[in-house]
Structure 1
Amino acid sequence: MKLALFDDARLGVVSADDTTLVDVTDALPWPHDPDPLTAGWWRALCRDFAAVAPRLREAAAAGTPRPVAGVTLRAPVLGPSKVIAAASNYGAHVAEMHGVQERTLGRVEAWMMEFDVFLKAPSSIVGPGAAIVLPPDVVAAGHEVHHESELVVVIGAGGKDIPVEQAMDAVLGFTAGLDITVRSAADRSRRKSYDTFSPLGPWLVTADEIGDGSDLDIRLACGGELRQEVNTGDLLTPVPQIVSYASQVMTLLPGDVLFTGAPPGVGPIAAGEKLEMTISRIGSMTVAVH
Structure 2
Amino acid sequence: MRLALFDAARLGVVAPDGGALVDVTDALPWPHDPDPLTASWWRSLCRDFPSVAPALEQAAAAGPARPIGEVTLRAPALGPSKVLAAACNYGEHVTEMHGVQERTLGRVESWMMDFDVFLKAPSSIVGPGAGIVLPPDVVAAGHEVHHESELVVVIGRGGKDIPAESAMDAVLGFTAGLDITVRSAADRSRRKSYDTFSPLGPWIVTRDEVGDGSGLDILLTSGGEIRQSVNTRDMLVPVPEIVAYASSVMTLLPGDLLFTGAPAGVGPIASGEELEMSIGRIGSMGVHVV
The CA deviation at 1:96 is 0.2
Instruction: Determine the structure 1 residue equivalent to 2:80.
Output: 80
Secondary structure at 2:132's aligned position in 1?
coil
The CA deviation at 1:191 is 0.1
The CA deviation at 1:223 is 1.6
What amino acid is the match of 1:176? A
Q: Distance in 1 between matches of 2:93 and 2:266?
A: 8
What amino acid is the match of 2:95? A
Instruction: Determine the structure 1 residue equivalent to 2:265.
Output: 265
Structure 1 residues not aligned, in runs of 5+: none
Matches within 5 A, 1:206-245: 206-245=206-245
Aligned length: 290
Q: Does 1:98 align with 2:107?
A: no
Q: Distance in 1 between matches of 2:137 and 2:43?
A: 35
Instruction: Determine the structure 1 residue equivalent to 2:61.
Output: 61
CA RMSD of aligned residues (A): 0.3
What amino acid is the match of 1:167? A
Q: Does 1:28 align with 2:48?
A: no
> Residues 27-74 of structure 1: CA distance to partner in whole angstroms, max 9, x if unpaired?
000000000000000000000000000000000000000000000000
Percent of paired sites with the same residue: 81
Instruction: Determine the structure 2 residue equivalent to 1:176.
Output: 176
The CA deviation at 1:154 is 0.3
Matches within 5 A, 1:110-259: 110-259=110-259
Q: Which runs of 4+ in 1 moved over 4 A?
A: none
The CA deviation at 1:129 is 1.8
The CA deviation at 1:174 is 0.1
Q: Distance in 2 between matches of 1:231 and 1:58?
A: 34
Q: Distance in 1 between matches of 2:27 and 2:222?
A: 39
The CA deviation at 1:222 is 1.1
What amino acid is the match of 1:153? V
> Residues 126-161 of structure 1: CA distance to partner in whole angstroms, max 9, x if unpaired?
001211000000000000000000000000000000
Q: Distance in 1 between matches of 2:212 and 2:109?
A: 31
Secondary structure at 1:145's aligned position in 2?
strand
Q: Distance in 1 between matches of 2:222 and 2:237?
A: 27
Q: Distance in 2 between matches of 1:8 and 1:214?
A: 33
Q: Distance in 2 between matches of 1:70 and 1:109?
A: 47
TM, length-normalised to structure 1: 1.00
Secondary structure at 1:272's aligned position in 2?
coil
Q: Distance in 2 between matches of 1:94 and 1:270?
A: 23
Instruction: Determine the structure 1 residue equivalent to 2:276.
Output: 276
> Residues 224-273 of structure 1: CA distance to partner in whole angstroms, max 9, x if unpaired?
11010000000000000000000000000000000000000000000000
Secondary structure at 1:228's aligned position in 2?
strand
Q: Distance in 2 between matches of 1:267 and 1:276?
A: 14
Instruction: Determine the structure 2 residue equivalent to 1:18.
Output: 18
> Residues 67-111 of structure 1: CA distance to partner in whole angstroms, max 9, x if unpaired?
000000000010000000000000000000000000000000000
What amino acid is the match of 1:189? S
What amino acid is the match of 1:214? S
> Residues 153-187 of structure 1: CA distance to partner in whole angstroms, max 9, x if unpaired?
00000000000011000000000000000000000
Secondary structure at 1:4's aligned position in 2?
strand
Structure 2 residues not aligned, in runs of 5+: none
What amino acid is the match of 2:48? D
